[in-house]
Amino acid sequence: MPVNIPETAQKRIVIIGAGFGGLKLAQKLIGSGYQIVLIDKNNYHQFQPLFYQVASAGIEPSSILFPLRKIFQDQKDVYIRVGEVYSVDPDKKTLQTSLDTVWYDYLVLATGVNSNFFGMKSMEEYAIPMKSVSEAMALRNRLLQSFEKAVTLWDQNERKALLNVIVVGGGPTGVEVAGAVAEMKKFVLPKDYPDLNFDVMQISLIEGSGLLLGVMSKNASEKALFYLNRLGITVLLNTRVTGYDGSKLSLGDGSHLETKTVIWAAGISGVVPEGFPVESIGRGRRLIADEYNRVNGFEDIYAIGDVSVLSSVDYPNGHPQVAQVAIQQGRNLARNFLLMKKNAGLIPFKYIDRGSMATIGRNRAVADLSFLKFSGFIAWLTWMFVHLMAIVGVKNRLLIFINWMWNYLTYDQSLRLILWAAKKDPTKIISPLDRK
């Protein structure tokens, strides 16, 4: 049975994924004459750049989430359906979902990416990724649970393993979460746990290449390394991780590090439903798209955002996997759908690079703008402003701003709560603390 969606004379565009790209596309198609069906496994849009602040107890999860039905209130041609998409049948132009069958005239995949553990099953089982708000909450729980258990132990080696935190991946997510945990160690944890010696707590960042923030400039990479070192973080470059058993992280040189908390911020894999031929899928299981975002081999299927690989002269290996690319692709694709109704020529996608930024704790950030590269306090203020303005909803912006100001003035966070949905972690990640 097909999912209950009104049958009309309008052409139906089905968008899978309500991230930056899918949301922008749906918003731009309001009142276009198309029927828009937006499918996502969650009933909300989540602001991924601030996951690390949820993980470090800086802001509430609800501050970076916004209900989809609130966004599209009173929009008669937009239909929200909450469910997972399992497979695509391009010949029948249907989707098999957790709800039932959905047909389409045009299909847009904006499904984003998941973590890629490169075949390391133990890492997948024990490490915590950072690709959803539930995983960010799992990390917050893991950190706080480790501190609560450490304070009960006499054995110093066991305490140290619980306190140690290792971040794998030196991109923006890895750098930002490492900096946030270091600031917790410096300003917050000694006040909460006066009977623990946080001088023995070691925060490490491991990167397989020779540079941090590989998508940014050399100056940004060097500054990030400088800031991380100032925060007392041990940075291991050109270091390969080979496995993790929940207690020991194995490295490529045969050595190992003892820790109960490994944060995985390295490697991505596209979220692609079954049904696509191998020639449509590129490196990292991402869909190969042309300059109009059409998936290779199809005229009525499109891919935007992180799940797509769109090569150009300026970006032969595909565009950066940042929010601005997804937003601009969603906007351009919406324009082309409108042109198709008029049988007019389509506009190829051209990315306008407005720059990249990353923050490494209080008063420390790096910014690569198209016309200027800078770092420090001004870059940090710029980072805060840009991200605050990008948040969906005035209420959410206000809540985040208040939290940021409170944290800045008091050197404290008030959100250090261990919250479980049930007896076990809702993300189904096995905690090493619960191992027998």
Exposure of 31 in the CB half-sphere (CA atoms within 13 A):
2
Q: State the amino acid at position 36 in one-letter form.
A: I
Q: Which residues contact 274 (CB under 8 A, 6 or more apart)?
A: 86, 87, 88
Q: Which residue of the set 135, 176, 183, 207 is catalytic?
A: 176
Token output for 149: 């258990």
Residue with tokens 């900096």: 179
176 is catalytic: yes
- Residue 192 burial (C-beta neighbours within 10 Å; 0-12, 13-18, 19+): middle
Q: State the amino acid at position 372 in one-letter form.
A: L
Q: Write out the DSSP string of 305-328.
A: GGGEEE--SS-TT----SHHHHHH
Kind and range of the H or E element at 125?
helix 121-126
Cα dihedral sign, 22-105-319-225: positive
Burial 301-310 (b: 16+ CB within 10 A, else e): bbbbbbbbbb
- 207 closest CA partner among 252, 171, 233, 243: 171
Contact 39, 102 (CB under 8 A): yes
Q: Write out the DSSP string of 90-107.
A: TTTTEEEESS-EEE-SEE
> CA-CA distance, 198 to 328, in Å (whole number)?
45
> CA-CA distance, 127 to 243, in Å (whole number)?
10
Active site residues: 176
